Amino acid sequence: MKTILFLLFLISSVFSDKLETLKDKQFLLAGVKYDYEPFGFVNEKGRIDGFDIDLIKYIATKLNLDVKFKQVTSSNRIKLLKEGAVDILAASMTHTFKRDKEIDFSISYFFDGQALLVNKKDASKTFKDLYESKIGAIKGATSGNNFKKLFPKSKIILFNEYPQALRSLKGGHIDAITTDLSWCILQAKKSNGKLKVLPKTFSYEPYGIGIIENESNFLDAINEAIADSVIDGTYANIYEKWFGKLPAKLPEVWSEE
């Protein structure tokens, strides 16, 4: 009996289609950031908000699904997706070949590059001095490894979440934080002149929506929804809402035929 049940489970997991399962369930459980404004964060009303949130809400609507949110961090997001704890990741996640060995990614929907955020008093330091100092990065993010490869003399200090790194920088325990430019710009803006972003980016960070591997119907539907958001103007609207300007680069839109 046990063997039969196991075989049935195996057959159903091989032939089940994630999109169909979601349609039965009627909602999408999205893994999103709670600490990475303006992509995913808790707003002043206590609600989950941000660019990734607006985009995933749009994608869910296109799939005829409701959406619910679950917090993920840079270090646990891929694990939670693979375990089935979330259906999808909309979590400021750069599409890399290493990550692509574990999960699948949508077309790139946002294009960033990592920068350095420093205390104002250090903004005049030479790049060389900073490269050899204490640089905060977040566990599981691309930024720490990228930076160490480029500047082997740097000392990378890893934090679990972004607010911890920010507190450490403000307290003068580290010399800089390296992560994507959009987050750095917003932190500098919110700091009343105390923090500055250095005018240089070191990497290319194209963001993708993450899903488990080999679910091509699900992936096609997500890609189509992203393209639809570009075509009907929603993408530009939500971009302008969160970044105060129109996007310089749009996600690609494939032709109909």
Binding site for ligand GLU (CB under 6 A): 36, 74, 92-94, 138, 141-143, 179-180, 205
- Which stretches of 33-175 are assigned E, i.e. beta strand? 35-36, 40-42, 48-49, 66-71, 88-90, 104-105, 110-112, 114-119, 134-138, 155-159
Least distance to ligand GLU from the beta carbon of 162, Å?
Answer: 8
Cβ proximity to ligand GLU: between 54 and 205 the closer is 205
Residue found by looking up tokens 């994630």 in the block: 18
Least distance to ligand GLU from the beta carbon of 244, Å?
Answer: 20
Q: Which distant-in-sequence residues (6+ apart) come within 8 Å of 87 by Cβ?
A: 18, 22, 28, 29, 30, 211
Cβ proximity to ligand GLU: between 141 and 177 the closer is 141
Candidates 186, 207, 202; CA nearest to 111 is 207
Least distance to ligand GLU from the beta carbon of 111, Å?
Answer: 11
Cβ proximity to ligand GLU: between 19 and 242 the closer is 242
Distance, C-alpha 156 to centroid of its chain: 21
Cβ proximity to ligand GLU: between 98 and 153 the closer is 98
Least distance to ligand GLU from the beta carbon of 4, Å?
Answer: 43
Least distance to ligand GLU from the beta carbon of 130, Å?
Answer: 19
Cβ proximity to ligand GLU: between 143 and 187 the closer is 143
